[in-house]
Amino acid sequence: MATFELYRRSTIGMCLTETLDEMVSNGTLSPELAIQVLVQFDKSMTEALETQVKSKVSLKGHLHTYRFCDNVWTFILQDATFKSEECQENVGRVKIVACDSKLLSQ
Amino acid sequence: MSTSVSAVYLHVVDAVVSKLRDEFINEGVDDSVLNELQGLWELKMMQCGVVQGPIERNSAPRGSGVPTPVHDLNVPYEGTEEYETPTAEMLFPPTPLQTPMQTPLPVEPGAYPYTPVGHSEYGTVPDTGAASADMKAGKPAPYMQPPSPWMNQRPLGVDVNVAYEEAREDEEGGGISQPQPPIKDFFMMTSGKRKREDYQPHILPNGYIPQQDGSGDSLDCSLQEKIQLCCLCLPWRKLNLMKNPIAQNSSNEAYAGTLHNRLKLQERKKADAAIASIIRMRRHSLTIPQCDGFDDVYDDGVRTEDYNTPSYYDPIPGNEVGTPKRTKAEASEDEEPPLNEDDDDEVDDLEQGDEEPNTNHLVLAQFEKVNRTKSKWKCTLKDGIMRLNNKDILFTKANGDFDF
């Protein structure tokens, strides 16, 4: 089953990648097992976001760049505002990377 | 109240670990490896600030049925003994190896491009003879005795090492304990004698030897001077030769002598022309056009010049006998053409602008719909992780309105 490797670029994903790199470098873990860990992380992360998270967010901003390649949208926003029921965040520049949700359900 | 970000992340960690436990067992990997992975992962997340410690876990029984001890994650992770950095004793057994050992080259410590893991622990290993015999395979520690004793202990002598041993013995005879290449070369060079074979004789086909034996000699003037001298020689020789036909007895012999002289003169003129052309060639050959690296002029006229290093086209001062010495920067730049990998960095920098350097705000999600009407973009995202202002925010649905 294909997974989105997208979430490996998040904070939790980068922490996992660094941990696995260290363990593979000092020989504690084999590279094959490390890849299996990452694949399992992809699945678990996607599932957790579907089931454990309930919040909704609205975003606004000026679209500086848009790109659609290999079924992946990449937007670069300037002066963006993110509103959720709990908080609001304003950032000067943000990159949005989005994969096609239909690919997972196929 | 929806689950907090920290709780979601910990849930993910637990899910990953529990689902991989069977896989690790099937691979024959010890459970402690998985625990170490989990511990390190959580520690890193705490350092990033996305997970708050101490981590409280419910006492749900794990698959194996053995409850794992909850260790305090507020302290730096201390691995168990078996996962400590391998020491020399672990990597190299105390008994000397039977196979012929690699002979370390007599270089200064630190000149090795690769140091095997664990050799940094040698400082703690007692300086026994066996240990030093094993250590010779790697980087010799500075406190070590001179290598001569254990070198002689080697049971097998590979042919390659014979010459090396002889060199070492020579150095020991000189009273040097730690052989160092600079000293070695120095001794050889202070013999003071330079053999003529060391220098390539620059003899032209006609026997003309160009000489640049004064500082500041440049090719142009010195060789031109030589050409002029050769030309000046001609009238003198002509006069000299002309004297001879006068001394001849018969007029026929005089005529023959004159003809002979004229032929010789022509020969000399041809020789001079040949010399001049050779000189021109040599001058030209010093400026071989190269478009493979440093100091090239590209099509768009953009020329990279480094004013700190001498250019190829500058006249080379000093003795021309040896190959012209190039600086390290020039040599390295000339060997590999520039990859131009930084050409596009400016574009990225434009996008970055003067934003705060600490965070690169990022949203990772899946899109359900993206559409545009003129310059109005609308998109629907789902299941996303946002990293904004050093905070992690999760969402299950997001609506975006952008104007382009």
ipTM greater than cut 0.90: yes
Residues B335-345: b if buried by 16+ CB within 10 A, e if exposed:
eeeeeeeeeee
Q: Where are the domains of chain A?
A: 6-51, 58-100
Distance CA B17, CA B24 (A): 10
- How confident is the model at residue A3, as a pLDDT? 85
Its CATH architecture, for the domain A6-51, is: Orthogonal Bundle (1.10)
- How confident is the model at residue A10, as a pLDDT? 94
- How confident is the model at residue B258, as a pLDDT? 77
> Distance, in angstroms, between A49 CA and closest chain B CA?
5
Give Cα separations from B186 to A41, B179, B259 (angstroms): 61, 12, 60
pTM value is 0.45
Out of A11, A26, A49, closest to residue B396 by CB: A49
- How confident is the model at residue B4, as a pLDDT? 86
Radius of gyration of chain B from its Cα atoms, rounded to whole angstroms: 40
- How confident is the model at residue A5, as a pLDDT? 92
**Rounded (10°) angle between helices B5-27 and A31-51:** 140
Of A4-8, A55-59, B350-354, the poorest mean pLDDT is in B350-354
Q: Where are the domains of chain B?
A: 5-48, 362-403
- How confident is the model at residue B133, as a pLDDT? 44
Give percent of chain A above pLDDT 70.
97
Residue B382 phi, psi (nearest 5): -145, 155
> Distance, in angstroms, between B401 CA and closest chain A CA?
5
- Determine whether the interchain pair B366/A104 forms a contact, defined as Cβ–Cβ distance below 8 Å: yes
Its CATH architecture, for the domain A58-100, is: Roll (2.30)
> Distance, in angstroms, between A24 CA and closest chain B CA?
11
Q: To which CATH superfamily is domain B362-403 assigned?
A: Transcription factor IIA (TFIIA), beta-barrel domain (2.30.18.10)
- How confident is the model at residue A78, as a pLDDT? 94
3-state secondary structure of B336: coil
Question: Per-residue pLDDT tens for B219-276?
Answer: 544 555 555 555 555 555 555 555 554 444 556 666 667 777 878 888 888 888 889 8
Q: How many CA atoms lie within 13 A of B50 on its CB side?
A: 27
Contacts of A10 in chain B (CB under 8 A): 362, 364, 385, 387, 392
CA angle B107, B110, B114 (to 5 degrees): 100
Residues of chain B with pLDDT under 50: 1-2, 59-67, 109-145, 147, 154, 165, 167-182, 184-185, 190, 220-221, 245-248, 354-358
A62 Cβ contact partners less than 8 Å away, ≥ 6 residues apart: A77, A78, A79, A80, B402, B403, B404
Q: What is the CATH number of domain B5-48?
A: 1.10.287.100
